[in-house]
Amino acid sequence: MAPPDDARSVVTANQTTSRPGQSGYHSPFQPVANSLNRVTETPFFFAREDARLFGILHLPAGTAKPLAFVMSHPFGEEKLWSHRVFVSCARALAAHGHAVLRFDYFGAGDSSGLSADASLESHREDLRAAIGALEQRAPAIEQIGLIGLRMGATFAALLAESNVSPRLAGAPLVLWDPILDGDAYFQELLRSNLSTQLAVYGKVVDNREVLTARIRAGGSVNVDGYEIGKGLLDSCGVSTLLTTDAKRHAGPALIVQIAATEAQKERAELKALAASYGQGTLARAAEQPFWREIKPFYPRASQLQELTLRWLDEVTGAPAVAPLETAASGG
C-alpha cells in the first residue's frame, strides 16, 4: 500500500483511518467517551516518513488545559506489561483537563516496522512525529510535556534536550525510572535471551559476548520476540546514553525512582540526574516492577500516578486535587 501521510490520517468526526474512503469496510468510528471520567479517546494512524505510527488521543470533556502530554512507552515486552498503567495514567491526566497522546514507536505495538530496524534516531523521529500529530489535532495547546517509562523516559529526556518544538521548552518532563546506562540495560535484555536458551536447550548455546558480536556484525538477536539490531545497540547500548551533565531543558523535571518498597535507598545516579536539571526533582514511588511479568495483575500504578499528578499541579500552579481513586499498589 502507499505510505500513509498526515493528510490521509486526519481525524474526522466519523472516521479515522490511514486511508479513509478507500472502501466500505472502515469502521463507523466515533471518538469514544469514557463513561467513567468523560474522556474522549480517539485512535488513529499518523505518518513518520514511510512509517505508519499508531496513536490514541485522550481529550478531556470541555476545553483542554494549555498543557498537553505525549507519553513515551518502554522498549520491547516492557511496553506490553506496562500498557494498562499508561492507559490508566493517560485517562487520569485527561480527566484532570489535559490532552494526552499515547503512541506506539516504530516496530512496536500497532505501528509498522520491525524492532530490528529501530535506532535511537528512529525513536527520536517517532517522538517528534507524535508531538507533531498532537499539535495538529489539538492546535490550541501551548505546551507539551513528556512522560516516559524506562527507555521511553530516556528517549523523552534526550528529545527534550533538542529544540524540536517551542511547545516543549519550559514544559514539564516526567521520567519514570529512566535508563541512564544503555550498555547495562542491553546486557540485561540479552540475559533474557540466555534464559530462553536455558529453558529451551537446557544450556546457554550463545553467551552474551557471542550475541553482542552478532549484533555488532549486522545480525540481530531476539529478546522476548523483539529482534535487536545493530542500529539500536550501537546508538543506545552505551553507558553514557543519558548523562548527568547539566541539561538545557528549562522546564521542571520529575525523576521518579520506582522501587518495590519505600524504604529502598535513593539511587545516586537518579539523584544526579535530577540535579542536572535547573528545576529537577527526585521522587520515589513504591510500586512493583510492572513493566515485567509479576504475579499481581497491575492495571494501575496508583502511587506513581498520584505523585506525578500532584507534582504537575505544583509546578503548573493548578489547585491541589483530591486524592485520586486508587487501587492497591499491588493490584
| Stretch binding another protein (CB under 8 A), from 10-18, 150-158, 268-276, 280-288 | 10-18
Q: How many CB atoms lie within 10 A of CB 211?
A: 26
| Stretch binding another protein (CB under 8 A), from 50-58, 142-150, 176-184, 208-216 | 50-58
The grid coordinates listed for 93 are 491526566
- Interaction between residue 1 and another protein (CB under 8 A): yes
Binding residues for another protein, total number by CB under 8 A: 58
Q: Is 218 helix (H, G, I), strand (E, B) or coil?
A: coil
- Interaction between residue 109 and another protein (CB under 8 A): yes
- Shortest distance (Å) from residue 37 CB to another protein: 10
- Interaction between residue 114 and another protein (CB under 8 A): yes
Q: Is 62 helix (H, G, I), strand (E, B) or coil?
A: coil
Evaluate whether 178 touches 155 at the Cβ level (below 8 Å).
Answer: no
Single residue of 26, 230, 271, 310 touching another protein by CB under 8 A? 26
Measured distance CA(121)–CA(132) in Å, rounded: 16
- Interaction between residue 199 and another protein (CB under 8 A): yes
Containing 311, the helix (H) or strand (E) segment is helix 302-316
| Stretch binding another protein (CB under 8 A), from 172-180, 223-231, 274-282, 302-310 | 223-231
* Closest by CA position to 317, among listed 175, 172, 166: 172
**Cross-sheet strand order for the sheet of 51-59:** 32-34, 39-48, 51-59, 100-103, 67-72, 143-149, 173-176, 252-259, 279-286
Considering the complex, state which of residue 29 and residue 311 has its C-beta at the smaller distance from another protein. 29
Measured distance CA(290)–CA(82) in Å, rounded: 6
- Interaction between residue 25 and another protein (CB under 8 A): yes
Beta strands 100-103 and 143-149: pairing type?
A: unpaired
Q: Is 255 helix (H, G, I), strand (E, B) or coil?
A: strand
| Stretch binding another protein (CB under 8 A), from 32-40, 131-139, 142-150, 204-212 | 32-40
- Interaction between residue 205 and another protein (CB under 8 A): no
- Interaction between residue 246 and another protein (CB under 8 A): no
- Interaction between residue 29 and another protein (CB under 8 A): yes
- Shortest distance (Å) from residue 250 CB to another protein: 33
How would DSSP label each residue in 233-245? HHHH-STTSS--S
- Interaction between residue 52 and another protein (CB under 8 A): yes
| Stretch binding another protein (CB under 8 A), from 146-154, 168-176, 180-188, 293-301 | 293-301
**CA 116 to each of CA 108, 123, 208, 256, 291: distance values in angstroms, whole numbers, following the listed order:** 11, 12, 18, 29, 21
Considering the complex, state which of residue 18 and residue 308 has its C-beta at the smaller distance from another protein. 18
- Interaction between residue 200 and another protein (CB under 8 A): yes
- Interaction between residue 297 and another protein (CB under 8 A): yes
| Stretch binding another protein (CB under 8 A), from 64-72, 149-157, 172-180, 287-295 | 287-295
- Interaction between residue 296 and another protein (CB under 8 A): yes
